[in-house]
Structure 1
């Protein structure tokens, strides 16, 4: 089973302790006179360490440029998308994109699938992007992934393209069984081949998946289009990820803005929300309580507003994807929260893609937006057994909303 829990803080701490222990033991050996009869034991230990280094290089591309982005400052985000083949989305073209993009449709119309496709395009030839989408959709923890289950979940022949920062981008993903005599076939399952292209740069990665041992990834380098963050109320909740978002919000000085919004709009007695490092829990200082309270003791709506708002600092000059935006948030708060989303997206130069089932949510963005040209709306509808996009610019959709009781979800 692939061990991709290196992002878990407890796992990283355990690694550091183990490495420190090894160094301490080496220090002890250096002070001793080494007898010839124990040299084989030392060489055996050296071989095991070298094996760890080799696996790390194969699996995580140590020593090569990985997970860098093409641009740290961008003039434009996505201006068009083409989902040629991803799950039930076939040749889905979307060309009216803005800074904030609303997608709606009936159940099983492909809204979450569309967000996944955009995320994969952002991640380019990074295998971990595909892993992230599949395991979180399946609510599978990083260290619990069954490689055979994972392979079964990979859609066939993925192809997604678009225009980002005024340049063409593309990603193709396929998985197959290699005919390579050098592969240990007793553990080998399949390979995942990812080809990506952006502007004038083409990249590839090949990841071999094994049962009972770590996977191996081969690539010259891994590059992403931009920072990208995907949030869904239906994905596995992982507190350590929000810890990363929290610290970036602290460094960017956007956290006080988020706290002020929650205090003004949600809980008037709330004074602060802080992360307890040792437990990865968020603790709330509330003037009506003597002691801090766990954030989980407050309503889901407050928690969702807080966690969504934290995402923006981690997606500066990039993309945020929010599934079922209105989930757990009271309808009276939607327009006000839409205002905060608008403000944060400007502050961090972030393009936002969000899905919603709620007419109130869609109308909240339309009615709130002072700069309506920064908004686009799109309904995913089924037409002759395929999903197509009914697109509206913010200005056009506002006219429809103001003209009458228009429900984008029912577009034909």
Structure 2
């Protein structure tokens, strides 16, 4: 089955430092490189929002991880004000505008019958709006319908009790999030994407609780063998792994080695094998979806990166997963290129370099052949 939401191109507007970024083509596996402050992690965040179709819990989690969840601190500050301050962090220059050209837009690009380029129908957009609640009551005064109506520019002067909200739009489906709650995502829009086929590995490893849940999803399936084969990159004697412990937050991964009588805590065997476990567990839980990995090389010695790339390429094809990875490592890039241009590899991949030129982010795209030439001639790709 093909990936339901596979991106063949990417257009991002007004998201953080990506005022307008267009990547003309994408492949099954995509490696994103560039110096600091070029937007590598920002692209992953944008794809995460796209993949979950605007899941608010994810959005507020991303804001919290950046220290941008500005909860109400002053007694006289209302929740709307603090939520606007928080959500404005998503927008370029933290701009709070109510016009459609102020909206964040994330998705692929398609050509119209007139030869013009536009965002595809499944693109997602977010923008601040001014709105008012409309209600219709029956003869007994009971509310029978309720809807939120967006005010056009200038109409707010004619409405006494308008509010400010966040509109999340996917194609023709629109939802307006009220911002007058301490945690506006609790009872509101949860996104239209399939979060079960999406995983996002940050610069740190996924914590033990999440790894345990991901392992539970594949227990007693053929996917267990994929995890064991990946761990053998680091420890060839790996036979089995398990998660033990009654409390989900304290469950611990243990490993059984062929040359040892008992089991060992996986954490005692170093960062490398735990990083591999995290990546492969996330990958085998992303069937027909997306896997995002920030700073691939974290905890991985250069000697294992090419072997891990081989497994990633193979599983991405078998499980129909589209993968986006960032890195600062030349070894990671070289390993990626070696697998990409291996005669036995049948799957396509792409390297994308981001550049920050006068605070405008631009991209340079490398095909497999172009990347090989750059590596062979020692041309700086990072």
Normalised to the residue count of structure 2, the TM-score between the two structures is: 0.73
Match of residue 172 from structure 1:
125
Q: Distance in 1 between matches of 2:220 and 2:176?
A: 36
* Cα deviation, residue 310, structure 1: 0.6
* Cα deviation, residue 286, structure 1: 3.0
Match of residue 96 from structure 1:
25
Match of residue 47 from structure 1:
none
Query: What is the DSSP-based 3-state SS (H/G/I as helix, E as strand, rest coil) of the residue aligned with 2:246?
Result: coil
| Greater percentage in helix | 1
Query: What is the DSSP-based 3-state SS (H/G/I as helix, E as strand, rest coil) of the residue aligned with 1:169?
Result: coil
Alpha-carbon contact 1:171-1:196 (below 8 Å) kept: yes
Q: Distance in 2 between matches of 1:262 and 1:114?
A: 29
Query: Cα RMSD over matched residues?
Result: 3.2
Q: 1:102 to 1:216 in 2, by over 3 A?
A: closer
Tell me the number of residue pairs that the alignment of Structure 1 and Structure 2 aligns. Answer: 318
Q: 1:190 to 1:239 in 2, by over 3 A?
A: farther
Match of residue 276 from structure 1:
244
**Which of these residues, 363, 368, 373, is aligned with residue 394 of structure 1?**
368
Tell me whether 1:362 sits opposite 2:295 in the alignment: no
Normalised to the residue count of structure 1, the TM-score between the two structures is: 0.69
Worse-superposed segment, 117-126 or 205-214 = 205-214
Tell me whether 1:83 sits opposite 2:12 in the alignment: yes
Match of residue 293 from structure 2:
322
Match of residue 122 from structure 1:
51
Q: 1:329 to 1:216 in 2, by over 3 A?
A: closer
Q: Distance in 2 between matches of 1:390 and 1:366?
A: 16
Alpha-carbon contact 1:372-1:395 (below 8 Å) kept: no
1:208-258 C-alpha deviation (Å, 9 max, x unpaired): 345557756456x942278321111247x4332222321233354222222
Match of residue 199 from structure 2:
229
Match of residue 152 from structure 1:
85
Query: What is the DSSP-based 3-state SS (H/G/I as helix, E as strand, rest coil) of the residue aligned with 1:224?
Result: coil
Q: 1:347 to 1:138 in 2, by over 3 A?
A: farther
Match of residue 110 from structure 1:
39
Tell me whether 1:208 sits opposite 2:178 in the alignment: yes
Q: Distance in 1 between matches of 2:5 and 2:130?
A: 39
Structure 2: give runs of 5+ residues left out of the alignment: 70-78, 92-102, 111-118, 136-162
Structure 1: give runs of 5+ residues left out of the alignment: 1-71, 141-146, 183-188
Q: 1:128 to 1:75 in 2, by over 3 A?
A: closer
Q: Distance in 1 between matches of 2:221 and 2:83?
A: 36
Worse-superposed segment, 290-299 or 115-124 = 290-299
1:47-85 C-alpha deviation (Å, 9 max, x unpaired): xxxxxxxxxxxxxxxxxxxxxxxxx74378211001111
